[in-house]
Amino acid sequence: MTYKNFTVETDADGIALVTWNMPDKSMNVFTLEVMDEIEKIVDQTVADEAVKGVVFTSGKSTFSGGADLTMIKGMFSMIDEEKARDPDNAIKKLFDAAGRMSWLWRKIETNGKPWVAAINGTCMGGAFELSLSCHGRVASNAKSVKMALPEVKVGIFPGAGGTQRVSRLAGTQDALQMMTTGQSLTASRAKAMNLVHQVVEPDQLIPAAKQMIKDGLKPVAPWDEKGFKVPGGGIWTPAAAQLWPAASAILRRETAGNYPAALAILKSVYEGLQVPFETGLRIEQRYFTEIVQTTEAFSMIRSLFVSMQELGKGARRPAGVPKSEFNKVGVVGAGFMGASIAYVTAAAGIPVVLIDRDIEAATKGKTHSESLVAGAVGKGKMSREEGEKLLSLITPSADYASLSDADLVVEAVFEDRDVKKAVIEAVEAVLPEGSIFASNTSTLPITGLAKNSKRPAQFIGVHFFSPVEKMMLTEVILGKETGDKAIAVALDYVAAIRKTPIVVNDTRGFYVNRCVFRYINEAYDMLIEGVPAVMIENAAKMAGMPVGPLSLNDEVAVDLSQKIMKASIADLGEAAVVPGHMTLINKMVDELDRRGRKNGKGFYEYPAKPAKKFLWPGLKDLFAQKKADDVDVKVIQQRLLVTIALEAARTMEEGIVTDPREADVGSILGFGFAPYTGGTLSYIDGIGVRTFVELCEKLAAAYGDHFKPTPLLKEMAEKGETFYGRFNPYAESAKAA
């Protein structure tokens, strides 16, 4: 029998090697077709008396990344369609669909012949659950091997037997830690957790897997053997009596109850360990069916799985422009940002010239990459040879002529129009005619900077976030005259350095910074009102933000806030900044020299390590303090989320952001907007535009006109629209189909 996505080769020992190698795919992923073929392979190998056992592996450099985008989208489409067509049976159909993979893996587990998973690379989600259903697991010791059940990161949980098998193999505490965080495991860590049996050299993977079968591997899972006991003794032990209350408390502390899927993992494990294995699978299936219907699951999967992949693959790239090949990239400005941009460029294998005013400054910029490489080598994340190769791609220089053959130049000098003007002119004097100039400005409009260019169609903004090597988002900013080639080159570059891009039209602060400073400004309002700083910070975290607004302000620098306020007043007039905000920040910077983390004191104090930062006690003396009982924490949470989401809605209304996917992904990757919401616009869609408008009006009446809903929001509320409906990012492709 032949298959589209698999080959099956049986050797002289009767061992069938099943190799998963999907055509036209860089990575194996689960589709309905793939699962149908796996079921046929199970039936075929069971029926063939010559087959004594099966080794399941991948023909690609990775094992599998899990489910395919189309399969995920299809699941949600099915939910909507079935509820509309047959509401009485819709949940039953969803339950059955949710269990398809789970019971197929159970079929492998109980087929009567031994199966061994030979894991040769990244093995995620349902693929790792498939491996766990095999009777033996062998993993390569290559650095590329990573195993995980990361579903909680996109709002769902391991629903194909993961909660039941991991907890019966690794023990409860390790299982809960792994699944509620979605952490990745190396091959050695997976072996230590009893999730794989052997770790071998890459070239020994298939021989070792076959040898397990030759050595008499039993085709029975441990929990199907009589007398099986859960590691640690199960639920009804003194150790469990200590573990479970602590696990629930830790989860509450870390998630504030915002992630239903994480709680469902605890429930599935707790209930499943008290019953026979197959009953545990049913419990897991029940909870998965419940979770997949939540707003959180829908929104998180859409933004953090579907949209991120679509944007990363060039969803906004202009059609018809040839793909760029980067033989050399120039970075002008060897300060912290420029040095970091040079590092990520070289890490992508692209030669880069790092330019500064003199060779000493440029060379100093390269030392940043040297320190990053040394850290990676020290932690075993990079070999010495790999580090040396990366550093060899960075050439410090003070000579602009070295940019004469660059495909792209990224300017990352001081945020001063005159300084940038001089750089633009110097670069364009040597830059090849077809090459692109990109500015990394974070505050200055691209259209204004492009006026200094002789070729504005080839001028674009590429805004990185600090620290560049860790932050996954990049804003690609279009000036009024930016052409399609510049957009395509910028997006190709962002893809090459493995970042996620969002395309934003030109405006002061672009998209992310506009939202960030609304968040911070709301905290200023609260401080002035007398809300205790600790309540502001804690309420922000309870709302789902990774850090409070005052902590975030310290990170971006309090004196940067002052500079931005002064620039806004200079350009737009006194009304552009709330006077109380200016007074507060002037006092913090000019009188108290509290500039943020960079000088060790801002809204927080930063004592020497290992001591942790803490809120500056003097904050409470700046304004008369309200009593904690007089502050509604729920309202604080609403104000912080609504002010950001409202700013995001304004950018859509103004045409700054045109695709809701970019608003959502940008808000999560850019500053961590409550991921469980799916992002700023998904937050509005999730609670309903009408409900959001009513909340805005209520907050405006109590806390100021900046909460007033925009005309667009009012119109959408009246029409019952959503952002993903009104600004449907798939409308053009739907027309073409």
The residues, ordered by sequence, that sit 6+ positions from 195 with a Cβ below 8 Å of its Cβ are 132, 137, 147, 166, 169, 170, 185
Looking only at the bridges linking them, the beta strands covering 459-464 and 473-478 are antiparallel
Smallest CA-to-CA distance from 457 within 318, 651, 554, 286 is with 318
Residue 483 Cα distances to 254, 456, 703, angstroms: 45, 8, 43
Collapsing DSSP to helix, strand or coil, 594 comes out as: coil
Strands 6-10 and 394-397, how do they pair?
A: unpaired
- Torsion sign across C-alpha atoms 15, 20, 23, 26: negative
Q: How far is CA 504 from CA 435, 461, 469, 641, 662, in A?
A: 21, 9, 22, 22, 8
Please report, as a single letter, which amino acid is at residue 655.
G
CB count in 10 Å sphere of residue 83: 16
SS3 218: coil
Half-sphere exposure of 680 (CA within 13 A, CB side): 34
Give the long-range contacts of residues 733-736, CB within 8 A, separation 24 or more: none
Find out whether 27 and 125 touch, Cβ atoms under 8 Å. Answer: no
Residue with tokens 């989208």: 73
DSSP code for 709: P
Largest CA distance in the chain: 85
CB 284, CB 161: distance < 8 Å: yes
Q: For residue 293, with 0-12 CB atoms within 10 Å meaning exposed, 13-18 middle and 19 or more buried, which class applies?
A: middle
Is 463 a known active-site residue?
A: yes
Determine the Cα–Cα distance for residues 44 and 8; give it in Å rounded to an integer: 10
| Token reading at 659 | 């695709």
Q: How far apart are CA 714 and CA 719, in angstroms?
A: 9
Collect all residues with Cβ–Cβ distance below 8 Å to 408 and sequence separation of at least 6.
Answer: 324, 326, 329, 330, 435, 436, 437, 438, 489, 490, 493
Active-site entry in 135, 197, 368, 463: 463
Buried b (16+ CB within 10 A) or exposed e, 559-572: bbbbebbebbeeee
CA–CA separation, 522 vs 548, rounded Å?
A: 11
567, HSE (Cβ side, Cα atoms, 13 Å):
14
Give dist(CA 128, CA 134) in Å, integer.
10
Distance CA 652, CA 726 (A): 11
Task: Compute the distance between CA of residue 721 and CA of residue 691 in angstroms, rounded to an integer.
Answer: 12
Tokens 């990079």 map to which residue?
A: 382
Beta-carbon contacts of 412 under 8 Å, excluding residues fewer than 6 positions away, are: 331, 332, 333, 335, 337, 338, 341, 440, 464
Buried b (16+ CB within 10 A) or exposed e, 460-479: bbbbbbeebbebebbbbbbb
Structure tokens at 727: 């600004």
Full DSSP string of 344-404: HHHHTT--EEEE-SSHHHHHHHHHHHHHHHHHHHHTTSS-HHHHHHHHHTEEEES-GGGGT
Q: Checking phi first, is residue 241 left (phi over 0); if not, alpha (psi -120 to 50) or beta?
A: alpha
Phi (first) and psi of residue 441, to 5 degrees: -55, 145
Q: Which of the residues are catalytic?
A: 463
